[in-house]
Structure 1
Amino acid sequence: MSKYRIEKATDLEKWDKLVDDSPQGTIFSNSIYLNSFGGKYEIFFVFKGNELKAGFPIILSEQNIVLDELVIYGGILFYYDKTQKETKAKSERFEISEEIISFLDLNYKKIEIALSPKIEDLRPFLWHNYHGEDKFIPDLRYTSYLNISSLKKFENEEETENFKSLETLRQRNIREARKKEAKTYIDNSQSDLFIEYYKNLMISQNEKFENSKLINMKNLIDILVENNLANIYIVENSENVIQYITVFVWDNKRAYYLFGSPNPDGEERYKGTIAFWDSFIDLAKKGISEIDLEGINSPSRGWFKLGFGGNIKAYYEVRKGF
């Protein structure tokens, strides 16, 4: 008989505390976020005796665990016990992962999970059904973590470590924006306008989208803003014409780039760069020291985000049965 016990979580306060305390916990596992993205989900606790050891959220479609574009990370959230030796913690995390994987394999037909960048050991997934054909397939993904501490307080932004770390084009864009008197401000009532821009962006790029996704995006933004977990940042040029809109969310560990879109009629070359840069400055002044730029997995978006500096972080999506 297993020494671990898996139970469906019903105490959302206890769940959110686990998300906050776990190194793998992110805003995307917070109960407010999960209740707002528009999909069906379940959350579970893992106990050893009466001691909470871990938890995991899953997104459901019928009897399958699936990915959702709006929920960037999920996977296993380990409780952090600072009194436990790291050698013991590693072996226990391995055992817990095996227990969770067996539970998922027993109860769901197909499985897709996006793991946190803070999951360092993929072996429990890779070794499951090791000699069989029905295995987990890993998909290597990348994001960028950017330390923005130097933007918390400064007299000259160009003397900050963050500015010095920018690629030359990003520096030039920021100087152009300052020279042309662009301004960035928060307007958390502009979710409708953002969705309009985003829809036009998808059309211009010949990207397929469903109106239900746009509805879910707007609802998600509005609820996160209402709960002081997100801001909508607006960039205007000197003639008060909006050029770009970004949406950043945060938890107790870092901020995350969630959405962004230009005004289709915006003509300023600096618009994307200054939208991100000024958002970084505001978030740093709120006491946030790190930003997850949430994905650098396509050439154009990847190089743009890496132009701000930052450290490349690997994470995995794992799937079985698809």
Structure 2
Amino acid sequence: MTTRYRLEETTPGPQWDAFVEASPNGTIFSLSAYLAAVRQPSRLYWCLNGNERRAAVAVTESADGSCAVLHDFVIHNGILFAPPANKQNRSTVLSERFEIAVDVAAALSRRYARVELALSPQVADIRPFLWHNYGRDDAPHYAAEVRYTAYASLEGFAQAAAPEDVPLFPEISYSRRQEVRKALKTGVRTTEDATPEDLSAFYALTMGRQGITVEAERLDELRDLAAAVLAGGFGRLFATRTPEGELAAMALFGMDSKRAYYLFGAGDPHLRNTPCGTAVLWDAFGELARAGMTEVDLEGVNSPRRGWFKLSFGADILPYYQLVKDGPEPPSAEA
């Protein structure tokens, strides 16, 4: 098969970030500053047709660079398509993106012994990956796992004088509505005066209550990532306190040109029966809407406990794909 598109390694910076922001499936998780704050090597590629950039590819790598691997804090990566060119209709766009994905699947398989990708929900067609080395038993294949996230609309939050003025409010669960009202009635306050250190400490407490011990290195990475998105101006850390002033819950959001992302949430287990865990998200939605955000990715509903809580905010479920290719290409396929 003739290869029309080729990968060319590039570097992070303004040109890369402009492409990510313009891409219909680009996300915060491929921005230069975000990847720089993650303690995992990353590699960036242009996908070129001649000299024209028709897509980009972002991966995180193993320490020796032999594998493209997933990272817990990089929720989406892989292919980032360019916006449609002038005069491209829907059929042409879909055809071009299919061809791009065919060549990207092959190029990554040649470069890495193992490939792990987590595509954004906007990449719906994974046939080029599933059909890589189609019909061959002597060559590796990509396998797909369906994952889920949830998007909540922020319509009406910016202008709302009361929760009932927000179109999302009647769509959230009864208990969530009661918690929102209780927070307002009792004087729960949400501010932005907590620190990344506070978030890291609360995250350890939250995971500990679930019987999960988080390694100190991962907590430090979370703290540094929070600090980086806040310092870079594309993150906001909200903190909710009880009427008595006790810090009870926190939520870190990242932002790009398309939406906000609920990156991390944590709370004091001793105050989990207060409405603060609900208020920190509801109040954050209002502030994010006033900053121009139109939707928020609640970032993963892939466990029963987290899925139940996030979906109780009336969000829409969206599938996305994690892809894994395990094993090198046979010598005849290597470029």
TM-score range normalised by the length of the shorter chain: over 0.9
- C-alpha root-mean-square deviation of aligned residues, in Å? 1.4
For the structure 1 residues 172 and 212, does the alpha-carbon distance in structure 2 shift closer, same or farther, using more than 3 Å as the test?
Answer: same
Residue of structure 1 aligned with 2:112, choices 95, 108, 111: 108
SS of structure 1 residue aligned to 2:37: coil
CA distance in 2, matches of 1:82, 1:253: 20
Aligned length in residues: 321
2:78/2:118 contact within 8 Å kept: yes
Of 38-47 and 81-90, more deviation after overlay is shown by 81-90
For the structure 1 residues 98 and 267, does the alpha-carbon distance in structure 2 shift closer, same or farther, using more than 3 Å as the test?
Answer: closer
- TM-score (normalised: structure 2): 0.93
CA distance in 1, matches of 2:203, 2:163: 30
Residue of structure 1 aligned with 2:131, choices 127, 131, 138: 127
2:38/2:221 contact within 8 Å kept: yes
State the partner residue of 2:48: 47
State the partner residue of 1:296: 301
Q: 1:164 is matched by which residue type in structure 2?
A: P
2:204/2:213 contact within 8 Å kept: no
Residue of structure 1 aligned with 2:173, choices 162, 167, 180: 167
State the partner residue of 1:79: 82
Cα deviation digits, residues 135-183 of structure 1 (max 9, x gap): 1110100111111111011222223212122111100011111111101
Of 25-34 and 151-160, more deviation after overlay is shown by 151-160
Per-residue deviation, 1:11: 5.8
Q: 2:292 is matched by which residue type in structure 1?
A: G
Q: 1:220 is matched by which residue type in structure 2?
A: L
Of 124-133 and 296-305, more deviation after overlay is shown by 124-133
SS of structure 1 residue aligned to 2:299: coil
State the partner residue of 1:38: 39
Residue of structure 2 aligned with 1:274, choices 265, 279, 299: 279
Structure 1 segments unaligned to the other structure (5+ residues): none
Cα deviation digits, residues 109-155 of structure 1 (max 9, x gap): 11110001000101001101221342111010011111111101122
1:233/1:275 contact within 8 Å kept: yes
State the partner residue of 1:194: 199
CA distance in 1, matches of 2:317, 2:241: 31
CA distance in 2, matches of 1:213, 1:17: 29
State the partner residue of 1:93: 97
SS of structure 2 residue aligned to 1:273: helix
CA distance in 2, matches of 1:207, 1:185: 28
Of 79-88 and 218-227, more deviation after overlay is shown by 79-88
Per-residue deviation, 1:268: 3.9
Per-residue deviation, 1:208: 3.8
CA distance in 1, matches of 2:36, 2:155: 31
State the partner residue of 2:333: none
Residue of structure 2 aligned with 1:177, choices 166, 174, 183: 183
Q: 1:107 is matched by which residue type in structure 2?
A: R
State the partner residue of 1:67: 70
Q: 1:70 is matched by which residue type in structure 2?
A: F
1:138 pairs with 2:139: no
State the partner residue of 2:330: none
Of 129-138 and 279-288, more deviation after overlay is shown by 129-138
Per-residue deviation, 1:267: 4.9
Of 294-303 and 155-164, more deviation after overlay is shown by 155-164
Cα deviation digits, residues 280-313 of structure 1 (max 9, x gap): 0110111101100000111111111111112110
State the partner residue of 1:7: 8
State the partner residue of 2:257: 252
- TM-score (normalised: structure 1): 0.96
Per-residue deviation, 1:89: 1.2
1:243/1:268 contact within 8 Å kept: no
Q: 1:90 is matched by which residue type in structure 2?
A: L
Cα deviation digits, residues 83-103 of structure 1 (max 9, x gap): 211111111111111111111
CA distance in 1, matches of 2:230, 2:71: 21
For the structure 1 residues 203 and 268, does the alpha-carbon distance in structure 2 shift closer, same or farther, using more than 3 Å as the test?
Answer: closer
Cα deviation digits, residues 18-76 of structure 1 (max 9, x gap): 10110110000001101111110110001111211000111100211110001000010
Per-residue deviation, 1:236: 0.4
